[in-house]
């Protein structure tokens, strides 16, 4: 079986013990990946600190050219990377290709932003002073990423961190390290100086603590569960380490009776089933206005039934496997719980096949507010649908959660669209849009969905310190 090294200070290191990577479509091991201990992670931080001394001195334009070179390397290898991503994550090949294109777009966006780390000059209040606000890179960044978008979420952190003049150490999820290693291969081929970008793997809590406690690591950026986010916040309290956190979601979809039914069905379907429902912005609760409720259920169920389930490497597959047995068990438990509380299962509801971790696309109607699948992320192609009467009631239901990453609404009424945009408690709001993410706009959560924003110009700012320089002048 293939043994994969880690990328440390410009070298490839094979180091045991190895961690197995499993193909979720078959349950079989596909590779073994090296791991390192906490002391070696501390060495990586020291090397990154050393590399920072010269990387920070490059112009934004020069750093942007490196990012473009990484993007070119990813594009050149996109066929191979897409296959790797599908093998380790399970997502349909076409969606792996979309993720790669999105990662390339992130790199281009931040290559451009590298030239725009603007400060400002503030008019003086007293004679003989001038005030400059300047932006400086922070230093070594520790990044921890999840398995559901193994390339794009790593690039979403690495590209702005590097563009801003920082160096970065990436700790990918143990389920999907191969995409991160592929990214390291592209970084190496693009000729970035040693130590500027590194990939580590090992005991996740220990690596997290090293990032938090090591004084040379100046920022930790994380995408993952709210549970682990809370652990990082607790750890950061000791060293007052700046954190960016993109945590869990529980996205509502509000469908009003003035919208064209097909448009609402397709939008909700995209928001629900993309990445086999395993996205932190996936539609988790669908609320439909009473006059179109039964028609929506019928049309939506027909579309869910038409989706092809299978190994992501097969042609025209829409729904791949869930990431692992725990993911499958959780989704099945959510279905059982909803049905026990009175929900109607309109399609699906069971495990699909007998190998890997597949589930049938499932539609649950009349799901009560206290069902597990409306309280927590189901992270599966399981749609929990219920009815509402008024806009006020819909907004109250949508906001009745500790999370606030994304929300969706389908309506033809412009006034209502603005009322919703202003009252829905979420960092991203898709109005008649089931796929709202883009490199050029900020992404992040309100409430317990996280701190800070990625992407857009805000995504760069997350990796820059703002300094005030006060100049005393005799003029
Ligand atoms: P998920 O439920 O999506 O797997 P997690 O939050 O458990 O999300 O994992 C996201 C990332 O956080 C992974 O890279 C994982 O290895 C890492 N991780 C898990 N536990 C910890 C921890 N205690 N400290 C730091 N990182 C952790």
Mean pLDDT taken over the chain: 97
b vs e for 57-75, b when ≥16 Cβ sit within 10 Å of the residue's Cβ?
A: ebebeebbebbbbbbebbe
Protein residue with least CA distance to atom 18, ligand 1: 204
231 Cβ closer than 6 Å to some ligand 1 atom: yes
421 CA distance to ligand 1 middle (Å): 31
pLDDT tens per residue across span 50-66: 999 999 999 999 999 99
Would you say 142 and 211 are in contact if contact means Cβ atoms under 8 Å apart? yes
Among the listed residues 69, 67, 146, the one whose alpha carbon sits nearest the alpha carbon of residue 106: 67
| Alpha-carbon gap, residue 449 to 426, rounded angstroms | 9
222 CA distance to ligand 1 middle (Å): 9
4 CA distance to ligand 1 middle (Å): 21
- Position 470 scores a pLDDT of 97
DSSP string for 403-464: --SEEEEE-S-HHHHHHHHHHS--SEEEES-S----TTS-B--SGGGEES-BSTTHHHHTTE
Which atom in ligand 1 lies closest to the alpha carbon of residue 227?
A: 6
Protein residue with least CA distance to atom 21, ligand 1: 205
Is the pLDDT at 475 greater than 90, yes or no? no
Is the pLDDT at 151 greater than 90, yes or no? yes
Q: 221 pLDDT band (50/70/90 cuts)?
A: very high
189 Cβ closer than 6 Å to some ligand 1 atom: no
Q: Which of 172, 207, 228 to mutate to test the pocket of ligand 1 (most atoms within 8 A of CB)?
A: 228
Q: 194 pLDDT band (50/70/90 cuts)?
A: very high
Which atom in ligand 1 lies closest to the alpha carbon of residue 379?
A: 3
What sign for the dihedral angle of Cα 401, 407, 411, 415?
A: positive
Helix extents (H) in 117-203 = 152-163, 177-189
pLDDT tens per residue across span 65-123: 999 999 999 999 999 999 999 999 999 999 999 999 999 999 999 999 999 999 999 99
Which atom in ligand 1 lies closest to the alpha carbon of residue 231?
A: 23
Among the listed residues 224, 250, 221, the one whose alpha carbon sits nearest the alpha carbon of residue 425: 250
Q: What is the mean pLDDT of residues 337-348?
A: 98
202 Cβ closer than 6 Å to some ligand 1 atom: no
174 Cβ closer than 6 Å to some ligand 1 atom: yes
3-state secondary structure of 132: strand
323 Cβ closer than 6 Å to some ligand 1 atom: no
Which atom in ligand 1 lies closest to the alpha carbon of residue 172?
A: 14
Protein residue with least CA distance to atom 11, ligand 1: 146
Using CA atoms of 197, 6, 40, 198 in order, give the dihedral in degrees to the nearest 10: 0
- Position 35 scores a pLDDT of 98
Domains of the chain listed by start with CATH number? 3-247+448-470 (3.40.605.10), 251-439 (3.40.309.10)
Give ∠ CA 113-118-122 in degrees, rounded to 5. Answer: 160
146 Cβ closer than 6 Å to some ligand 1 atom: yes
Residues catalogued as catalytic: 246, 280
pLDDT tens per residue across span 372-396: 999 999 999 999 999 999 999 999 9
103 CA distance to ligand 1 middle (Å): 21
| Alpha-carbon gap, residue 301 to 458, rounded angstroms | 39
208 Cβ closer than 6 Å to some ligand 1 atom: yes
Protein residue with least CA distance to atom 4, ligand 1: 146
Structure tokens at 326: 């725990």
- Position 168 scores a pLDDT of 99
């Amino acid at each position: 079986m293939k043994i994969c090294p880690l990328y440390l200070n410009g070298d490839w290191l094979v180091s045991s013990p190895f961690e197995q990577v499993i193909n979720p479509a078959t349950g079989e091991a596909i590779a073994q990946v090296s791991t390192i201990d906490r002391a070696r992670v501390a060495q990586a931080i020291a090397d990154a600190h050393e590399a920072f001394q010269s990387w920070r001195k490059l112009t934004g334009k020069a750093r942007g050219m490196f990012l473009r070179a990484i993007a070119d390397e990813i594009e050149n290898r996109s066929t191979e990377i897409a296959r790797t991503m599908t093998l380790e994550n399970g997502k349909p090949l076409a969606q792996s290709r979309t993720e790669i294109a999105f990662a390339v777009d992130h790199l281009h966006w931040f290559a451009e932003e590298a030239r725009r780390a603007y400060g400002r000059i503030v008019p003086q209040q007293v004679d003989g002073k001038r005030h400059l606000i300047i932006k400086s890179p922070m230093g070594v960044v520790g990044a921890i990423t999840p398995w559901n978008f193994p390339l794009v979420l790593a690039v979403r952190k690495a590209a702005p961190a590097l563009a801003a003049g920082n160096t970065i150490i990436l700790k990918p999820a143990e389920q999907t390290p191969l995409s991160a290693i592929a990214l390291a291969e592209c970084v190496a081929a693009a000729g970035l100086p040693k130590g500027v970008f590194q990939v580590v793997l090992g005991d996740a809590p220990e690596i997290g603590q090293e990032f938090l406690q090591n004084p040379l690591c100046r920022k930790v950026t994380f995408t993952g569960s709210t549970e682990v986010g809370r652990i990082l916040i607790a750890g950061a309290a000791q060293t007052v380490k700046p954190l960016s956190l993109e945590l869990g979601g529980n996205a509502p979809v509000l469908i009003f009776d003035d919208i064209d039914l097909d448009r609402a069905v397709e939008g909700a379907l995209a928001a629900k089933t993309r990445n086999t429902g395993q996205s932190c912005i996936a539609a988790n609760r669908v609320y439909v206005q009473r006059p179109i409720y039964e028609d929506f259920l019928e049309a939506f169920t027909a579309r869910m039934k038409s989706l092809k389930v299978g190994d992501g490497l097969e042609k025209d597959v829409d729904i791949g496997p869930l990431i692992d047995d725990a993911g499958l068990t959780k989704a099945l438990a959510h279905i059982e719980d909803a049905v026990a509380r009175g929900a109607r299962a309109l399609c699906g509801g069971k495990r699909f096949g007998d190998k890997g971790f597949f589930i049938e696309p499932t539609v649950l109607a009349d799901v009560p507010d206290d069902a597990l699948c409306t309280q927590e992320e189901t992270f599966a192609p399981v749609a929990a649908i219920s009815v509402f009467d008024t806009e006020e009631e819909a907004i109250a239901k949508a906001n009745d959660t500790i999370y606030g990453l994304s929300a969706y609404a389908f309506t033809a009424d412009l006034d209502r669209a603005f009322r919703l945009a202003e009252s829905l408690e979420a960092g991203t709001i898709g109005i008649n849009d089931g796929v709202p993410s883009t490199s050029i706009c900020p992404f992040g959560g309100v409430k317990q969905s996280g701190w800070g924003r990625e992407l857009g110009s805000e995504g760069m700012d997350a990796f820059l310190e703002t300094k005030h320089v006060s100049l005393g002048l005799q003029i």
